[in-house]
Amino acid sequence: MRLILRILEFCQKEIKGVKFKDNLRQLEYQEDEVVLRLPVTDVYFSDFTLQTIRDDLKNLREKTIEFYDYYNKVWMACGIIEKPHIFERTGIMEFKIDLKFWNQLRNLAHGLRRCELSKALALPTVYSIWFYLFISEKKKPLYITIQHLKERLGIGENEYKRANGKDRVDHLEERVLKPAQKALNDSCPFTFKYEKIRENPESKRSPVKLLRFIPVSQPQYRDQNLEKKALLAKTSVSFLNPQVYDYLTKNMGFCLTELQPNKETLDDAIRYIPNILDKLCSLQGRRRQRDGTVKGIGWVINALKSEIEIAKKEQKAPNVLVCPGNVADLFNTEKYK
């Protein structure tokens, strides 16, 4: 789970145009793949072995992502990661991600707050990470069956059960729910309370049919710097990739007051249009008219809207990925297909 979160962190940094400050962490495009390199210690804390890392990398490689091109009737599949390497002398791991899957992960990471990733990566257990991603930013209560919860958490069907096959919810509480809840209570801006909903509410011996999770906000644990950035993003174009912003202002000559009303379109353009800088360069060449004047921001925005629609259609049909929209669901094996 931490490795997937680190991959999403790589996606976020690329979206924001943040360069890696050292040679230990690298992202490189190679034809139809993306190569990621990072230290083992970015993923594992003190309690791990070389065999643990090997097993985890193999496990991710064996989990399947499927794509289907509806126009051309072409199916393809890939692992979450491919060709994993561990360089034991340097403590570096390297693996590849199929470009189609990488683009889907970018879309997923685009909507994540950085504080979600940093807080989740610091949590001590797989269960606490999953619950944090499951409950984060939610407002309304969430309902889930015991069976579904166990599937989401990767708990075996026969675990936490009595000899007669009935669920031992008390064991699930003591070993999974309460420790995860405490970890979130102690450090995260979002945690939860939960209630057991029984088939017969009047009887405490009645089987539990649902768990009701109630989101709880803990603003004291929010990263204040990130909160300021989030607030600024609502009133400015600071969310833009710095390279895109520089090109729009320095090369195309637009000012902040022209970009501000169109930030939603610009945000979508960065999200959906591959090689957005190349597209802006092309539009810049087409702006100039025969009389020497150049078309204004309105023409550029309308052109980008057309390109966004084209890009959306291409993403929805030719390369459809049946992939979970919730980050927590990405860790559920059954959701990969």
Q: Are 252 and 217 contained in the same domain? A: no
Domain of 36: which CATH number?
1.10.10
In the chain, the amino acid numbered 121 is: L
**Share above pLDDT 70 across residues of the chain, in percent, rounded to a whole number:** 81
Look at phi and psi of residue 72 and say left if phi exceeds 0, alpha if psi is from -120 to 50, else beta. Answer: alpha
Q: Is the pLDDT at 325 greater than 60, yes or no?
A: no
Domain boundary at 221, 247, 277, which? Answer: 221
Q: Are 66 and 146 contained in the same domain? A: no
Q: Is residue 95 part of a domain?
A: yes
Banded model confidence at residue 4, pLDDT cuts 50, 70, 90: confident
Backbone phi and psi for residue 149, each to the nearest 5 degrees, phi listed first? -60, -45
Domain that holds residue 310: 236-316
Q: With CA atoms as reference, report the closest residue to 66 among 317, 336, 335.
A: 336
Q: Are 179 and 99 contained in the same domain? A: no
Q: Is the pLDDT at 269 greater than 50, yes or no?
A: yes
Q: Is residue 10 part of a domain?
A: yes
Q: Are 130 and 150 contained in the same domain? A: yes
Q: Is residue 228 part of a domain?
A: no
Q: Is residue 307 part of a domain?
A: yes
pLDDT for residue 312? 82
Report the 10 Å Cβ neighbour count for 27.
17
In this predicted model, what pLDDT tens digit does every residue of 77-111 receive, in sequence order?
A: 888 899 999 998 888 999 999 988 888 777 666 55
Banded model confidence at residue 316, pLDDT cuts 50, 70, 90: low
SS3 262: helix
Domain of 217: which CATH number?
1.10.10.10
pLDDT for residue 227? 53
Q: Are 212 and 282 contained in the same domain? A: no
In the chain, how many domains are there? 3
Banded model confidence at residue 330, pLDDT cuts 50, 70, 90: low
Q: Are 205 and 242 contained in the same domain? A: no
198 DSSP β-pair partners: 208
pLDDT for residue 113? 58
Q: Are 134 and 98 contained in the same domain? A: no
pLDDT for residue 232? 46
For helices 263-272 and 276-287, what crossing angle results, to 10°?
120
pLDDT for residue 198? 92
- Of residues 290 and 227, more confidently modeled: 290
Q: Is residue 50 part of a domain?
A: yes
Q: Are 306 and 208 contained in the same domain? A: no
Contact 119, 187 (CB under 8 A): yes
Domain boundary at 112, 140, 161, which? Answer: 112
Q: Are 18 and 106 contained in the same domain? A: yes
Q: Is residue 7 part of a domain?
A: yes
In this predicted model, what pLDDT tens digit does every residue of 141-190 receive, in sequence order?
A: 999 999 889 888 878 888 888 888 888 999 999 999 999 999 999 988 89
Q: Is residue 71 part of a domain?
A: yes
Q: Are 7 and 103 contained in the same domain? A: yes
Would you say the C-alpha torsion 320, 326, 328, 332 has a positive or negative sign? negative
Contact 269, 308 (CB under 8 A): yes
Q: Is residue 327 part of a domain?
A: no
Q: How many residues does the chain have?
A: 337
Q: Are 165 and 215 contained in the same domain? A: yes
310 DSSP β-pair partners: none
Look up residue 228 and give its two tokens.
Answer: 């300021």
Domain boundary at 112, 137, 172, which? Answer: 112
Please state the rounded mean pLDDT for residues 213-231: 72
Q: Is the pLDDT at 5 greater than 50, yes or no?
A: yes
Q: Are 141 and 170 contained in the same domain? A: yes
